Every structure is written in C-alpha cells, then in structure tokens.
C-alpha cells in the first residue's frame, strides 16, 4: 500500500488549490486578491503569516489567474529559501528575468515570487530596491514570509502588505473531509480531531499527517495519529494535569504518568508543549487557576528551550502545579 502511495503525488501537492476561489480561510484578504485579479494591475506585495496557511499558494493562484495557463510558466519566476539568494542571485538571475522580453496582454506584468523572503540576507534585500524601481513597468514582485518585520523598511514601503491569520479548526476539518472522501480513507471522528489538534491551524501539516497515518496504519484514529506525529496523547496529559489540579494535588499519581511518558521516549519539549495545549481547555478549574497553570508551564517551556530539558524540570513543574 505504501509503495502505491509513493508513486503518487503527495496529497499536499495533489490537493493544492489552483484558483483563488478554492483557497480556505482568510476570506477578506483573498477577496482583495480576487479584486487585483479582476483589475489586472498587481502591485508589489508582501504576504506574511504562519507556515502552512496558503501564502505561497495564494500568490501562485493570483499569478495563474492574471497570466492564464499559457503564460503562467514563462512569465513567473519562483525563488525559494532553499535556492541561493545572495546579492549575486539578485544581480544576475532576478535582473536577467526582469529584462527578458515576454509578450503579455495589456496591463499584465511578469511576476517574481520570493518565498521565505524573511530569510534573504539584508544585502540581497538592499540590492532588490533598485531592481524593483527600474523594472516596475514590466515586472512585479511578490514576497511570502513568516515575519514581515524581517524584511527591510525600504522594501516594505514599496509593497502592499497582506497578513494571513491562522486557519480555524472548522476550515481545516472541511478540507480534510474533502480529501478523506476523495481518497476513500477509513477514519473516525477522534482521528480527525487528533489531526486538527496536532496541526494547530497549519493546513499543510494536517494533510501530511493524514497521508502519513494512512500510509502507516491504513486507518485514521487518534492513537495512530499521535504515533505518527510522535506526541504524547492529550488524554494522558489531561489526566496528569487533572491529578495536579485536584484538591491537595495527587503528586504520586502525576509522577507515575510522567515516568510512563518519559520511558516511552517523549522529550521534555513534547510533554511541555502538549501540556500547554491541553491546559488551555482543561475542564473543572477556575480561570484564575488556569492562568497560573499556563504561567508555570510557560516558565518551564522557556527553560527547556534554553537547553535545560531534564526529567527534574518536569518533576518540578508538576510539583509546582500541585501546590497551586
């Protein structure tokens, strides 16, 4: 089964939208892109937002609608962070493409797509300033990035900035159901809930995890999904936090569950991250207590990211939660 799957396109590519109408979420921003596609005069633009929510796809859909299927291939240039994008590339490759003569319909422009633009060197970004001005009659630039603040001010001032928000769980679920139906996947509702929980609004991750679970187990349920993404099961974490937050705090039971997770090989960052996600919706505790719990988890998360990812840190965290 997995061999048959490997011959196909990954589902992320297979179900990638090709029209702006097919893009999920961020309706207001997508409406602005549709108006640009109707008008035909695309400005230089920056689309910023979290990974996996459709930034690059939106730019490709816009380019496809502006240029049509015949010119789309020849009149767009895409450079990703994996390509070398120092000053030499800006001076040679980008300039060369901007100078290339392509017969386009009136009011249409060649489009240069710079994906992961926030990882371009400041020098390369500086070199782009002049290029954007000289060739603005024939060429338009579209930047996709996670943080627009990492793009230098002079480039930001030349562009329209569009911001994409995290996708809602219902929007991710809608697209997953379409794929599940098209691929005739066997699943249960807990499996889809687990995919949404682990993706946290990242459509690309949700679809990749779905395909991996199908390839690995054939059936999509919560246990299989958490095995694939290698995260502790939220029900175990919820039980652990409930022991800590009960009257008096059941520290021995909480540590027994922690030992079990630790023996299974879950790292401190896995356990802390899952605890943070679960604490946000933990039932049966007051709002002030929830905030205290989240604050303590946040402190330990910070220490773990600084490199102190020991078992002792986790024991200290759950002991602190019992005191609360």
Q: Note down the domain range covering 288.
A: 234-323
Q: What is the CATH number of the domain that holds 277?
A: 1.20.272.10
Contact status, residue 161 vs residue 49, Cβ threshold 8 Å: no
Does 14 fall in a domain? no
Q: What is the CATH number of the domain that holds 176?
A: 1.10.8.60
**Are 157 and 36 contained in the same domain?**
yes
Contact status, residue 319 vs residue 251, Cβ threshold 8 Å: yes
Q: What is the CATH number of the domain that holds 155?
A: 3.40.50.300
CA distances from 38 to 41, 61, 65, 67 (A): 8, 13, 9, 11
Q: pLDDT digit string (tens) for 114-160?
A: 999 888 888 888 888 888 889 989 999 999 999 989 999 999 999 99
What predicted TM-score, i.e. pTM, was given to this entire model? Answer: 0.84
Does 8 fall in a domain? no
Q: pLDDT digit string (tens) for 53-104?
A: 999 999 999 999 999 888 999 999 998 876 777 787 777 888 889 888 888 8
Model confidence at 239, pLDDT cuts 50, 70, 90, reads very high
Instruction: Name, in order, each residue with C-beta under 8 angstroms of 278's C-beta and a sequence gap of 6 or more.
Output: 234, 237, 238, 241
What span, in angstroms and rounded, lies between the C-alpha atoms of 56 and 79? 11
Three-class SS of residue 288? helix
Residue finishing a domain among 229, 248, 266 = 229
**Are 201 and 174 contained in the same domain?**
yes
Residue finishing a domain among 229, 248, 276 = 229
Determine the distance from the C-alpha atom of residue 20 to the mean position of all C-alpha atoms in its chain, rounded to a whole number: 19
Does 20 fall in a domain? no
**Are 100 and 122 contained in the same domain?**
yes
- Counting residues of the chain whose pLDDT is more than 70, the rounded percentage is 97
Average pLDDT over the chain reads 90
**Are 290 and 211 contained in the same domain?**
no
pLDDT at 121: 85
**Are 121 and 67 contained in the same domain?**
yes
**Are 150 and 272 contained in the same domain?**
no
**Are 222 and 264 contained in the same domain?**
no
Does 16 fall in a domain? no
H/E segment holding residue 47: strand 45-48
Q: pLDDT digit string (tens) for 177-225?
A: 999 999 999 999 999 999 999 998 899 999 999 999 999 899 999 999 9
Model confidence at 2, pLDDT cuts 50, 70, 90, reads very low
**Are 192 and 280 contained in the same domain?**
no
How many Cβ atoms sit within 10 Å of the Cβ of residue 176? Answer: 23
**Are 59 and 110 contained in the same domain?**
yes
pLDDT at 107: 84
Residue finishing a domain among 118, 144, 163 = 163
**Are 192 and 247 contained in the same domain?**
no
Does 19 fall in a domain? no
Quote the DSSP letter at residue 117: G
For the chain, how many structural domains are there in total? Answer: 3
Going 8 to 14 to 15 to 16, the CA torsion angle's sign is positive
**Are 246 and 196 contained in the same domain?**
no
CA distances from 2 to 6, 9, 81, 184 (A): 6, 13, 30, 15
pLDDT at 6: 45
Does 17 fall in a domain? no
Backbone angles phi, psi at 147, to 5 degrees: -130, 110
In the chain, what is the straight-line distance between the N-terminal and C-terminal CA atoms, in Å?
A: 50
**Are 174 and 219 contained in the same domain?**
yes
């Amino acid at each position: 089964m997995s061999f048959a799957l490997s011959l196909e396109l990954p589902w992320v590519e297979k179900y990638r939208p090709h029209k702006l109408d097919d893009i999920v979420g961020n309706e207001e921003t997508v409406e602005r892109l549709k108006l640009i596609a109707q008008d035909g005069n695309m400005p230089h633009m920056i689309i910023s937002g979290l990974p996996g929510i459709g930034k690059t796809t939106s730019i490709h859909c816009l380019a496809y609608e502006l240029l049509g299927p015949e010119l789309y291939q020849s009149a767009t240039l895409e450079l990703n962070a994996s390509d070398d994008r120092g000053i030499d590339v800006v001076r040679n490759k980008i300039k060369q493409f901007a100078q290339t003569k392509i017969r386009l319909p009136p009011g249409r422009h060649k489009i240069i797509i710079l994906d992961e633009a926030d990882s371009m060197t400041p020098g390369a970004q500086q070199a782009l300033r002049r290029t954007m001005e000289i060739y603005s009659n024939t060429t338009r630039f579209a930047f996709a990035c996670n943080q627009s603040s990492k793009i230098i001010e002079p480039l930001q001032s030349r562009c329209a900035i569009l911001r994409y928000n995290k996708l809602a769980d219902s929007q991710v679920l809608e697209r997953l159901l379409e794929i599940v139906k098209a691929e005739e996947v066997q699943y249960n509702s807990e499996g889809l809930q687990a995919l949404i929980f682990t993706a946290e609004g990242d459509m690309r991750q949700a679809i990749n995890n779905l395909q991996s679970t199908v390839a690995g187990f054939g059936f999509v349920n919560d246990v299989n999904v958490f095995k694939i993404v290698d995260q502790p099961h939220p029900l175990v974490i919820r039980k652990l936090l409930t022991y800590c937050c009960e009257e008096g705090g059941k520290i021995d039971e909480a540590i027994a569950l922690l030992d079990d997770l630790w023996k299974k090989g879950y790292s401190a960052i896995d356990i802390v991250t899952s605890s943070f996600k679960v604490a946000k919706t933990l039932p049966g505790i007051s709002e002030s207590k929830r905030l205290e719990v989240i604050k303590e988890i946040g402190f330990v998360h910070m220490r773990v990211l600084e490199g102190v990812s020991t078992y002792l840190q986790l024991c200290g965290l759950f002991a602190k939660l019992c005191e609360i």
